[in-house]
Chains A and B, each alone.
Chain A
Amino acid sequence: MEKKKILIIDDEEDFCQMMEFNLEDSGKYEVRMETKGKKALAAAKEFKPALIFLDIVMPDIPGDEVAQQLRSDEMTKDIPVVFLTALVRGNEVASQDGIIGGNPFIAKPVSIEKLIDCIEKNTRN
């Protein structure tokens, strides 16, 4: 079975690495990480992932702007984007997978089971 390519865009390098370790350990995914929001579009064009995890709060450029760039580029517009956010209130995560601006989001901290569940829900096999 071919491994799904997952791109993680998050300025927290340690967190990216933990996601990478866990996802690659499952044997089902090939992971690449990018800690600079500004390089996200280029990385997506080159890597051609099946799904992108995108942090909303990043120092150089906000995640929703990156999402806008991805949506308006012919090469990346169809790649599903899942937001990662540390700013979700208790009642907003009553149903853990909510929607922000048309994109699904995941609240940090998140378990590996939920991450995998989310990937499988948002990508085709």
Chain B
Amino acid sequence: MAEATHDIEIRNLYKIFGPNAAKHVESVRNGMTKEELKAQHNHVLGLDDINLTIPAGKIQVVMGLSGSGKSTLIRHINRLIDPTAGELLFDGQDIAKMSETELREFRRQRTGMVFQKFALFPHWTVLENTTYGLHVRGVSRREAEERARRWITRVGLEGFEESYPNQLSGGMQQRVGLARALTNDAEILLMDEAFSALDPLIRTDMQSVLLDLQSELKKTIVFITHDLDEALRLGERIAILRDGKIIQQGTGEQIVLRPKDDYIASFVRDVRRGHVISVRTIMRKGAHAETPVTLPASTLLEEAARAMTNAEVSRANITGRDGQHVGMVTLSKCVAEMIAPDDTEEVDPESQVA
């Protein structure tokens, strides 16, 4: 199994759509906006100076509204779209500079992709669809089918090997899409709004399938979504795009706790904060409380509050990764942070008396 070991480093990436794209990069570097580029030169600014390190073996979510450039960005990683300027470094190579043969090899050996509208091959069965990546590589049919069957079982489609895509429901079709990508056994998995076309229940289901697989596979997954709940559930790292620019990146917790601007704040307003924020970020460092409750620093606020309420205490000690004491939280602080509208956030945690 190909466990991911290389980060993907995107450096100063620009994409401009239009016949004279290269000519306009300099103006964009000097601050020309998407609107100005469109109005003055009739070119579309797709990506504007993207710098992003996608960590090996983690799920990197890219979020943003429609038209913000999410699909454009993810398609640069396997170069379905050619950059106008910039680098995409992976395992000592610049994807942007690969020759056609190198690129084909890279796509075959190192990547798999899942699409929003599934994009299955309608004239092939589930099994034939799933073996496609190996077929392209020239792996023998017998071996390909053996490997494909394993993944078909893993995504819960056993018994449907001989069905055609049009005989399956949307959720099942996307399982085929996932199995097809996984059968490639590659360390990078690209998922462009892979679950957006599914019903909410099936969607949550598929998220669980993905998390479950990832806990064992440890691939580098780039997951595109415009749904914050999905982003927070899946993303170990989240980057937010607007008009082709990354306007904030970090963990879900960091983004919910400290949205960089009103645009992001409006995104995160309705989120279940207690479900995202951990006690680490609100604890009083170094302080110690007389209480029977001790919690790890990664405990979410909701869980911490529940633990304290169940024990009928109002404080808990916090321990770090190695189990040693690092600080304490109070129940009221937990609850305050869970319901905090933006203004209470201004209160300095240190000044609050427990």
Q: Decide whether A and B are members of one complex.
A: no
Which A residues are closer than 8 A to B by beta carbons? none
